[in-house]
Amino acid sequence: MNTLLVLPLLVPLATAAATILLARSPRAVRTASFAGAAASLGAAVALLGATRDGTILVTQAGAWEAPFGISLVADRFAAAMVLVAALLLAAVVVSSIRGLDGARERAGYHPLLHVLSMGVSGAFLTGDLFNLYVWFEVMLMSSFVLVSLGGERAQLQGALKYVVLNLVSSALFLAGAGLLYGSIGTLNMAGAAVALRELPAQGLPSVVASLFLLAFGIKAAAFPLFFWLPASYHTPPMPVAALFAGLLTKVGVYALVRVLTLVFVRDTAFTGPLLLAVAALTMVTGVLGAMAQGDVRKILSFHIVSQIGYMLMGLGLGTRLALAGTVFYVLHHIVVKANLFLVAGAMRRAGGSFSLEKLGSLLARSPLLAAAFLVPAVSLAGLPPLSGFWAKYLLVRAGLEAGNGTIVAVSLAVSLLTLFSMTKIWNEAFWKPAPAGAGAAPAPLSAAERASLLGPVLVLGAITVAIGLGAGVLYRFADAAAAQLLDPELYVRAVLGARGGGT
């Protein structure tokens, strides 16, 4: 049993239990919740430290040998994802102190946060397809409750759409898993990778691959399966939305990367162009959708969709540089996107609204907030020297090297439109004088509010700047992770031992 692999699951579980037991005292719940998030972060750092040199950590649950038991596996990509997820959880916990009302907190908000975090980490670390389904459900169940917690009318309607589409995705995934088991007799990812080499590429494996593509495509909010996202992500309180925006769709992207680089590696001639087409359409529809919106939350929601396109673009190109771009993009995006939602929460508090029409003169009212918005916004649009620039640079270069001018042109145009959207928010909310008849401005932020609402935002912003200035470090890591992803043999040998390797 490798403790490092189990801690990212056990710590959130223990924290969830502790926050339930302490429910009588909100202060104790917050303390426990924050301590748990910090411990998760520590566990994730240790995990990344152990996988940095290229080691693939494996634990067979209950000592059932693979491919019969459930394997937990951490390579560089998985460990890095666990780390950003833990980072985001900590930021959200701090931001919830002031960004959330007491009624929701008493209704079990903190335990749900940690169960969600456990589901996300489990999905990153599992090496078994059915277990991946179970982790998805753990994650979905807590996200269902989090998205509807509070029970406002808009929230419930958004939640219904979110629940329905995600359950359809789960049913498709389960059907795919059943068919795969029927044809190869294992759901262990490494075992499946080996077994599928011996089957003809057409027929059942391709059907299963397309079922998985659909199921994960819905979760990742790829075109044309993204409609649930802009319909629901703007309804919950901003800390919850930030957690969803940062993590949930990226779990779908992660699952796509995992199965397409490990299990269904032979269909690339078909999946590559398909993914590129999906990527281009995802980018374009997302960014155009955002341009039509006048609500900060909806603009940001549509931009999640368009950004998913970039991640799929790297996966579709499939070269080492492109995959490194995808890894870099996912890691950068989680930090930046969640940060923007947290900023939106602070804007609402400082300006009294989410609507661009009603907001104004925030720059004069809170220069710190303006700076806190500018960093992730500019990074999202991809201006140097922030993290988004390097992520896009890698993908564009990979596209040019692969000789695919169309996708490069689309990604650059979408980037420009993203900048337009961010400028729109800046102009309307920060520069424009406050509209007449908007009523008195809300009271300025108190010191406690500043610490809770702006503290996490500034930390995440500092990370964005650090990634931008030290892009070489993250690039070398992403490149090494991509190399690992492109050599499934490493993964198979680590999980199955000598038995499965070398065939």
Partner 1 sequence: MTLLLALAIGVLYAAGTYLLLRRSAIRVVFGLALLGYASNLLVFTAGRLSREGPPIVPEGAVAAAATSADPLPQALVLTAIVIGFGVQAFALVLLKRTCQEAGTDDVDAMREEG
Residue 144 near partner 1 by CB under 8 A = yes
For partner 1, which is the closer residue by CB, 64 or 420? 64
Residue 207 near partner 1 by CB under 8 A = no
Residue 9 near partner 1 by CB under 8 A = no
C-alpha atoms less than 13 angstroms from C-alpha of 161 in its C-beta half-sphere: 16
Please give the angle made by the CA atoms of 143, 144 and 145, to the nearest 5 degrees. Answer: 90
Quote the CA–CA distance of 200 and 499 in Å, as a whole number.
Answer: 22
Which residue, among 168, 262, 251, 163, has the nearest Cα to 215 in the 3D structure? 168
Residue 393 near partner 1 by CB under 8 A = no
Residue position matching structure tokens 């529809």: 285
Residue 174 near partner 1 by CB under 8 A = yes
* Beta partners for residue 188, in sequence order: 128
For partner 1, which is the closer residue by CB, 141 or 465? 141
Q: Per CB under 8 A, which region of 43-51, 71-79, 140-148, 388-396 contacts partner 1? A: 140-148
Residue 439 near partner 1 by CB under 8 A = no
Residue 151 near partner 1 by CB under 8 A = yes
The residue within the footprint of partner 1, chosen from 5, 159, 213, 375 (CB under 8 A), is 159
Residue 140 near partner 1 by CB under 8 A = yes
Q: What is the full DSSP assignment across 136-189?
A: HHHHHHHHHHHHHTT--HHHHHHHHHHHHHHHHHHHHHHHHHHHHHHHHS--BH
The residue within the footprint of partner 1, chosen from 1, 21, 103, 171 (CB under 8 A), is 171
- Coil, strand or helix: which one is 264? coil
Residue 62 near partner 1 by CB under 8 A = no
Residue 168 near partner 1 by CB under 8 A = yes
Beta-carbon count within 10 A of 369 CB: 24
Quote the CA–CA distance of 121 and 8 in Å, as a whole number.
Answer: 6
Residue 134 near partner 1 by CB under 8 A = yes
The residue within the footprint of partner 1, chosen from 2, 157, 268, 361 (CB under 8 A), is 157
The residue within the footprint of partner 1, chosen from 1, 21, 156, 413 (CB under 8 A), is 156
For partner 1, which is the closer residue by CB, 326 or 355? 355
For partner 1, which is the closer residue by CB, 154 or 288? 154
Site for partner 1 in 176-205 (CB under 8 A): 177-179, 181-182, 185, 187
Is there a contact between 124 and 251 (Cβ–Cβ < 8 Å)?
Answer: yes
Is there a contact between 391 and 382 (Cβ–Cβ < 8 Å)?
Answer: yes
For partner 1, which is the closer residue by CB, 27 or 153? 153
Quote the CA–CA distance of 445 and 352 in Å, as a whole number.
Answer: 12
Residue position matching structure tokens 């692999």: 5
Residue 130 near partner 1 by CB under 8 A = yes
The residue within the footprint of partner 1, chosen from 17, 38, 46, 160 (CB under 8 A), is 160
Quick one: tokens of 495? 């999980």
Residue 270 near partner 1 by CB under 8 A = no
Quote the CA–CA distance of 276 and 245 in Å, as a whole number.
Answer: 23
Which residue, among 146, 121, 101, has the nearest Cα to 37 in the 3D structure? 121
Residue ranges in contact with partner 1 by CB under 8 A:
130, 133-134, 137, 140-141, 144-145, 148, 151-154, 156-157, 159-160, 163-164, 167-168, 170-172, 174-175, 177-179, 181-182, 185, 187
